Structure 1
């Protein structure tokens, strides 16, 4: 079976009674999760998340799914279902609601509460909320939805079963099968088995950990490790984790109480999310343990615990500012302990290690996933996925949520247990379920949509390439003045360079060749300044490449006197 789809054209009209699945993000990367289901002319969207930029996206704040394929059909959208409250599943929702503000939102209590904070930040009015829990069934147009409890690294995650006339689809969302979860809420394999008995026609499964053998470690295994870290620390402890990881924060609070320490939250998103989780009863804060961050400094160091954002090395996060000694009121001391209680999102490794080195430089002891069991994944490993395939026994499988290698590994697991039809898709690849059989039928154009400050979608891949060139190779401007009557260069070239250790005298050797190139064009009767600029660009470009082994951005300006 081919895994690549470069030759696909526009998908044909959907056959009557068929279900069309179009992923707009999340298939080929870890983030930007968004899938559109179409049946009988109506649309259902599952998740609407963001992808965080890496060093290949200089100046970019967020990356959104591409809404273009559904932009003309937003009135056909029955609802947006959110499987759980992580940014890579809910973060792009405000941007979709800017285009149609009354799309009904469906999700669990915590998921919708976390989203509410985002909508307020974006000054959007809240559309209709449909709060659901495991076991609930609710219909929107031709889509009959049933929700199933799944265990993940945030409370209240749900899988969704979608029933239409084309058959039964089961979408796991992000999940794992921790058998001893901190909140006692396990992935409901009995519901998976019941749906399997009914007959799952298409199974969309989380691929993130498909390459990892065995079973994901239980969250409870972290508690004794945290306890040991607290026991050995004789000064302040700073713990960085995701601002949505309620279970991890609960473990830290409980451990702090056991060691007679006070706790403060640092970082806007951490303060906001934990406030929401506490108000809804997902986070139990023992009495007397919490203090304001500024009050914490008045306590002796051995009684202080800070819970901070910034576990991914984000440059403006609380932890990065602490590492750079630029935080307003948290000043790292030699002997402090810093715990990075989170995974490394692919692409963030360098940023995280930069922060670890910064913390270590000031004499902190840094405990992280590489040297202690202070984080476990929120995703099912290969053993759990095999279990699921055997329980559900789906007719067709579409691996989702992951990079290409993760999805291929996931599909291989499905085939090992006898699933006959595994369909591989990437963002924009259309999969149709017709008469019980799923197949790739075409492709729609989708790309990355970049958020850069207030601008959404204005930054193109070409502009990012320019930023990368500017950052890596620098730039050179060349100004030449020509006298078109006399037919020769009358002033210049004036050359300015930035971004490398170039000096003005470095360019003396190329000035005459530039003059000769422009004079040559003028002698031929050319008076087109664009052609002259191109001649300047070629001349200096070849010289810089040959002399300095650089390919900077070159901005030639030819002025007629």
Structure 2
């Protein structure tokens, strides 16, 4: 297999009759999925999602794909294709629309319905939306695009077959094989077989569960488990799930209705998405089942069920807040039941385990994927992946959507089905893959940095600034002020030291003040500036703090010249 490359140069202009794949996110990570296809000078974008920050990225709201490579080529973009309505595939659409707000956008009815409110939130005009479904085939510039129904953990998911003069590319999007899906819309294996018979030159395949043997169970197996847990619960019930997991919410509503409980949806995204799903016929809600959160608390505990966000342990989401007793509506009591009905996204283990421990400490009965069958993944395991490879019989394979180990494992599966190892293109974010004359090759690398959204700031937070935030969080902050008469070298006031986020007694700094005063006197020579003196104080105090207190805080020195 072709290895992952580093330090490649920018790719040369695309050769005549070739097609280039430019991954701007989603390779080497689980999230911010975005791939760009270039052919005949035109660009087709497939998905545009976000990645949610981890614990080591304090203050960050979202992480976007890197648009810098296409920023000056927005007029060449002929379309945006969205495979399904999850945040890691549509969450960055508004930020792309800030560069150009009239990109023709193609997706299923539910996917576009979830996308439109995001544009409105950013006060962007409605995009040029085109609703498609499995079996549809449209021409988008030089790209002939066919949509194929696939099963995922959200309705209306689509794979995308892109035919060009350079060859045929089949992109699975996120998928699994569920022969008894909740919405009666199974993965269209016949269409995939037909496309495979025509010939697939490049197969871009979901890699998330490529290390897991076997097949994913059907979503229908979760319903009876939820029915039993809700029926047996003696207190109130809290169920955490993704705000877009329509199938899971439907199962929870059904279980609550059977058990005689009322349901409140908690979380703005949960309320909005389920309202959209209901309006479009994807969610069936029995009359009178849903009530306002404030009204639910008026009912006895055994008649309440809360459907909340925060299944990944996000600090500001509902599940985390109620686990520490500071949620506006949900107040847990000992004996209540909490169900985590969602997959664990890699990287969130610490946050989720902390929330589970906090809930358990409160006396709640906590059920999660590790101790009860309350969720199944929406991503194909090895059995489904092998089935796809054997049906499609691609010439070349490019694993996508996953961490490096997932991409490698997926490539190894492809080889087992007969794909030549030399035809597996293992690429990382920004590494471009060219298809020409039926062969693929790594052609270069474009920028693919993580773009951080912090409040109203987009892309202004650097890795160095995040490192400073981590230092503040873990090591603390020390400020030191001194007044110096630079003409005489006289220190007019003893350095004033203030420590924040450090457990030390302020008096501990008394022993370093004489050394700081002497260092300032020694450094004060004619022509010296305040910056030089500040650096002297930083070095002296920094060495002392590291040796004496075993800390490396952020130190901010200030010298006032007289």
Q: TM-score range by the shorter chain?
A: over 0.9
Q: How many Å apart are 1:121 and its aligned residue? A: 1.5
Task: Find the aligned partners of 1:529 and 1:256 in 2 and give their Cα distance.
Answer: 68
Structure 2 unaligned runs (5+)? none
Q: How many Å apart are 1:187 and its aligned residue? A: 1.0
Task: Find the aligned partners of 2:250 and 2:108 in 1 and give their Cα distance.
Answer: 20
Question: Alignment partner of 1:57: what SS?
Answer: coil
What do the CA deviations read for 1:320-357 (whole angstroms, capped 9, x no partner)? 23222222232222221111101111222222222222
Task: Find the aligned partners of 1:543 and 1:304 in 2 and give their Cα distance.
Answer: 58
- In the superposition, relative to structure 1, how do residues 303 and 504 fare at CA in structure 2: closer, same or farther (>3 Å)? closer
Partner of 2:224: 224
Which stretch has the larger CA shift, 283-292 or 271-280?
Answer: 283-292
Partner of 1:545: 546
What do the CA deviations read for 1:88-129 (whole angstroms, capped 9, x no partner)? 000000011011010111000000001112112112110111
What do the CA deviations read for 1:465-488 (whole angstroms, capped 9, x no partner)? 110011111111122222222133
CA contact under 8 A between 2:296 and 2:304: conserved in structure 1? yes
Displaced runs of 4+ in structure 1, greater than 4 A?
none
1:407-418 to structure 2, matched below 5 A, reads 407-418=407-418
1:376-525 to structure 2, matched below 5 A, reads 376-420=376-420, 421-523=423-525, 525=526
Partner of 1:178: 178
What do the CA deviations read for 1:436-484 (whole angstroms, capped 9, x no partner)? 1111010012211111111111111111111001111111112222222
CA contact under 8 A between 2:2 and 2:425: conserved in structure 1? no
Partner of 1:256: 256
Task: Find the aligned partners of 1:4 and 1:244 in 2 and give their Cα distance.
Answer: 33
Q: How many Å apart are 1:2 and its aligned residue? A: 5.1
Matched, 1:531 2:532: yes
Q: How many Å apart are 1:6 and its aligned residue? A: 1.8
Q: How many Å apart are 1:162 and its aligned residue? A: 0.4
What do the CA deviations read for 1:213-248 (whole angstroms, capped 9, x no partner)? 111121111122112212321222111111111111
Partner of 1:23: 23
The count of residues paired between Structure 1 and Structure 2 equals 560
Task: Find the aligned partners of 1:62 and 1:151 in 2 and give their Cα distance.
Answer: 27
TM-score (norm 2): 0.97
Q: How many Å apart are 1:531 and its aligned residue? A: 2.1
Matched, 1:53 2:31: no
Task: Find the aligned partners of 1:102 and 1:94 in 2 and give their Cα distance.
Answer: 11
Question: Alignment partner of 1:68: what SS?
Answer: coil
CA contact under 8 A between 2:2 and 2:424: conserved in structure 1? no
Aligned-residue Cα RMSD (Å) equals 1.4
Partner of 1:104: 104
- In the superposition, relative to structure 1, how do residues 294 and 490 fare at CA in structure 2: closer, same or farther (>3 Å)? closer
Partner of 2:364: 364
CA contact under 8 A between 2:231 and 2:255: conserved in structure 1? no
Question: Alignment partner of 2:59: what SS?
Answer: coil
Q: How many Å apart are 1:526 and its aligned residue? A: 5.4
Task: Find the aligned partners of 2:74 and 2:394 in 1 and give their Cα distance.
Answer: 31
Task: Find the aligned partners of 2:333 and 2:176 in 1 and give their Cα distance.
Answer: 38
Task: Find the aligned partners of 2:60 and 2:7 in 1 and give their Cα distance.
Answer: 31
Which stretch has the larger CA shift, 530-539 or 316-325?
Answer: 316-325
TM-score (norm 1): 0.97
- In the superposition, relative to structure 1, how do residues 157 and 482 fare at CA in structure 2: closer, same or farther (>3 Å)? same
